[in-house]
């Protein structure tokens, strides 16, 4: 108690007490200010992070939308590539069809050149010859045919009945031409031309 009565001790204790009260009051007043400073720093750091992404704000929805846009861009690029490949195939197919059409036209022209037809102005004469040769023996008919050109022979054979034409071809396969060569090859050529003529006639009638 003697110590407490000492004026120096009392003064020092009062000074410490007032200093503690002052510090406590200062801390109570400074706490809101410190919180505001810390919050401002956090917002500034977040703003810097968002700016690095090129936006003033960035959310999970925007992230998802960005991913969807990237996927859609990749899908469209793939579709464009597939369309380009399909166009290339179609162009190749068109070229192939054009070539096939040209080949068909050439083949048609070739067949048309080989197919023999009877004109109206010669039909009567050819019919009379066919009837005359039908009454001949196969050997006699072959003897005459040997001296005629293929077109005229085919026209005459076309107007003959099959049971008459058959023996004539059979006789030709046994006979020989004027130079001694066999007529079998010519009989085969005449037979093929006769077939084409009948096929053309049937196609025109259908």
Whether residue 183 is found in the same domain as residue 128: yes
Above 90 in pLDDT, residue 193?
A: no
Whether residue 84 is found in the same domain as residue 24: no
Whether residue 171 is found in the same domain as residue 190: yes
The band of 182, judged by pLDDT with boundaries at 50, 70 and 90, is: confident
Whether residue 105 is found in the same domain as residue 140: no
**Residues 34-47, mean pLDDT to the nearest whole number:** 66
Whether residue 132 is found in the same domain as residue 198: yes
Whether residue 160 is found in the same domain as residue 199: yes
Spatial separation of the C-alpha atoms in residues 120 and 126, rounded to whole Å: 10
Number of domains in the chain: 3
Task: Give the pLDDT confidence of 109-122 residue by residue, as tens digits.
Answer: 665 555 566 677 77
> Quick one: three-class SS letters along 44-56?
HHHHHHHHHCCCC
Could you tell me which residues come within 8 angstroms of residue 129 by beta carbon, excluding any fewer than 6 positions away? 156
Whether residue 29 is found in the same domain as residue 69: no
Q: Record the tokens describing residue 194, joined without a space.
A: 């006769």
Above 80 in pLDDT, residue 11?
A: no
Task: Give the pLDDT confidence of 127-174 residue by residue, as tens digits.
Answer: 898 999 999 999 999 999 888 898 889 989 999 999 999 999 999 888
Lowest mean pLDDT among 75-89, 97-111, 147-161, 180-194: 97-111
Domain enclosing residue 95, as ranges: 59-114
Q: Which helix (H) or strand (E) holds 27?
A: helix 7-52
Above 70 in pLDDT, residue 47?
A: no
* Residue 138: predicted pLDDT: 92
Q: Which of 114, 140, 160 is the last residue of a domain?
A: 114
Spatial separation of the C-alpha atoms in residues 206 and 27, rounded to whole Å: 115
Residue that wins the pLDDT comparison between 142 and 54:
142
Q: Which of 76, 99, 114 is the last residue of a domain?
A: 114
Whether residue 70 is found in the same domain as residue 41: no
Whether residue 63 is found in the same domain as residue 126: no
Q: Record the tokens describing residue 132, joined without a space.
A: 């005359």
Whether residue 81 is found in the same domain as residue 156: no
The predicted model scores a pTM of 0.43
* Residue 136: predicted pLDDT: 92
Spatial separation of the C-alpha atoms in residues 156 and 159, rounded to whole Å: 6
Q: What is the DSSP string of 139-184?
A: HHHHHHHTTS-HHHHHHHHHTS-HHHHHHHHHHHHH-B-TTS-BSH
* Residue 3: predicted pLDDT: 44
**Residues 64-90, mean pLDDT to the nearest whole number:** 86
Cβ–Cβ under 8 Å, residues 169 and 187: yes
Whether residue 92 is found in the same domain as residue 108: yes
Whether residue 128 is found in the same domain as residue 201: yes
């Amino acid at each position: 108690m003697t110590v407490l009565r000492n004026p120096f001790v009392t003064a020092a204790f009062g000074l410490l007490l007032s200093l503690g009260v002052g510090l406590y009051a200062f801390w109570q007043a400074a706490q809101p200010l410190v919180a505001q400073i810390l919050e401002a720093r956090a917002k500034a750091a977040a703003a810097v992070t968002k700016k690095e992404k090129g936006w003033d704000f960035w959310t999970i929805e925007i992230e998802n939308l960005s991913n969807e846009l990237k996927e859609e861009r990749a899908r469209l690029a793939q579709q464009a590539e597939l369309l380009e490949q399909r166009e290339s195939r179609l162009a190749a197919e068109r070229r192939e069809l054009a070539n096939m059409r040209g080949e068909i036209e050439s083949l048609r022209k070739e067949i048309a050149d080989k197919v023999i037809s009877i004109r109206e102005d010669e039909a009567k004469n050819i019919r009379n010859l066919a009837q005359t040769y039908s009454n001949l023996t196969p050997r006699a008919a072959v003897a005459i045919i040997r001296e005629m050109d293929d077109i005229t022979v085919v026209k005459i054979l076309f107007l003959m009945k099959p049971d008459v034409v058959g023996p004539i071809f059979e006789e030709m396969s046994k006979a020989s031409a004027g130079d001694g060569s066999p007529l079998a090859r010519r009989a085969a050529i005449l037979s093929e031309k006769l077939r084409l003529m009948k096929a053309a006639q049937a196609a025109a009638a259908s």
